[in-house]
Chain A
Amino acid sequence: MANLKELRVRIGSVRSTQKITAAMKMVAASKLRRAQVAAEAVRPYADRMERMLSLLAEGLPELSAAPPLLAGTGKDEAHLLVPVSADRGLCGSFNTNVIRETRRRVFGLREMGKTVTLFCIGRKGREALRRVFGDAVVGDREGLMRTGVAFADAGAVADELVQMYETGAFDVCTFVFNRFESVISQTVTARTVIPVPVPEAEETPAVAPGGRALHILEPSDEEILAELLPRNVAVQVFRALLESFASEQGSRMTAMDSATRNAGEMIDSLTLTYNRTRQAQITKELIEIISGAEAI
């Protein structure tokens, strides 16, 4: 028969765990709201930048004259994958999903004879992927997403990526991250960031019959493109980080919610055992007293 004291200690420890998970759920919930607002706030900026970009790309006489950030290196050999994970665990399958998808992609690309390198954002992803791929991890970042995502951080990552691209370290850069769909659902998504994908223009084409853009361009279309393209990379990185951050909070909230519920169920069943044991003990003692009295 389980010891009464042991049971009491056990109930106490489950109860304090439940308090922790409940608190983590609350924290995640409040961070989530902020993260969602931030993820929505970047949309107008990104949309307008895309509009400018498609406007410029259309005006270019031919794609081969475009800077490599737009046109690509003309090769498809070296791939850089950027998995975005969290720095901390306890958020359900959030990190595992990113890591699994990254691993699947690396093996797939290697099978096709491409070289693959990794740039890990987030501690969890780096730890897991370095174990499997070792030297293929060429760079990593952590601590970018503690309370929120700063645009400057995204810009720094983007600068580093662009620099690597310009020195020919890779031909294609793809981000693997959790896209935020709702609090309970996040999908692992891969998005190519370099070369910059050109969105389809929705507005009427801004190009004169001669193939020249109708816009006045100051200083010139090449110079604007040269500035706009790295900025666009930064915005894409920022977007991916924001989505990932919101997903992390959502995922943690769901995970902690079910952990709290499980702890509650456990406490209920332990309390039941505890009461039953206590009652059994009392009955046993009574029987002993009565039979003792009868024996006299």
Chain B
Amino acid sequence: MADKVLVELVTPVEVILSREVDMVVVPGGDGDFGILPGHAPLLSTLRPGVVNIYEGGAVTDSVFVADGFAEATEARVTILAEDTLSMSEATNEAAQARIAEARRQIDAAEDDGGRAAGERALGTAEALAQVLERRDRRP
């Protein structure tokens, strides 16, 4: 068994991450799960949340992801996400702006489809704000 797992974080626009790490924690649709090398094959949906990359016992990278899927095999984790935001760049103001924008989108929506899209965006933005709040409260 290899002692590293290859993690690939891919969006439709670019490949964000592709390297070998010790462990990845993924926000799955049914709860967070950590993936170590040699994990059983798994396929899961994502909920809006943070992907944490562990190397040498510490988090070296964390990326907010929304709307996507994760696939794990023994030596590889593939995370597909439509929307990503590096946690080091994320600010609370940006999250609040996204919430406001999503609310506007819901109000402006003319049909159910538009409203559903707005509500999805709102859910994502609120999750982002929550995550940031938790991060900022920590010293």
Contacts and interface: CB of A to CB of B under 8 A. Distances in A.
B3 interface: no
A55 interface: yes
A99 B28 CA distance: 44
B38 interface: no
Interface string B28-47: 11100100000011111100
B31 to A, nearest CB: 8
B11 interface: yes
A214 B41 contact: yes
For chain B, give the interface size range: 20 to 34
Given A151-B13, A156-B117, A159-B117, A45 B45 contact: no
A219 B29 contact: yes
Contacts of A216: 40-44
B14 interface: yes
B16 to A, nearest CB: 11
A159 B116 CA distance: 10
Given A45-B11, A159-B117, A227-B69, A218 B43 contact: yes
Contacts of B45: 218-219, 223-224, 227
Contacts of B28: 218
A163 interface: yes
B12 interface: yes
Contacts, number: 81
Contacts of B113: 159-160, 163
B132 interface: no
Contact of A218 (B15, B30, B80): B30
A78 interface: no
Given A52-B71, A218-B44, A155 B13 contact: no
B69 A52 contact: yes
A219 B12 contact: no
Interface string B15-33: 1000000000000111001
B32 to A, nearest CB: 11
Interface string A207-227: 000000011111100011001
A52 B43 contact: yes
Interface in A140-178: 151, 155-156, 159-160, 163
A215 B72 CA distance: 9
B131 interface: no
Interface of B: 8, 10-15, 28-30, 33, 40-45, 67-69, 71, 78, 80, 82, 113, 117
28 contacts: A38-B13, A44-B10, A44-B15, A45-B12, A48-B8, A48-B71, A48-B78, A49-B69, A51-B71, A52-B69, A151-B13, A159-B113, A159-B117, A160-B113, A214-B41, A216-B40, A217-B44, A218-B30, A218-B44, A219-B29, A219-B30, A223-B29, A224-B45, A227-B45, A228-B69, A231-B67, A231-B68, A231-B82
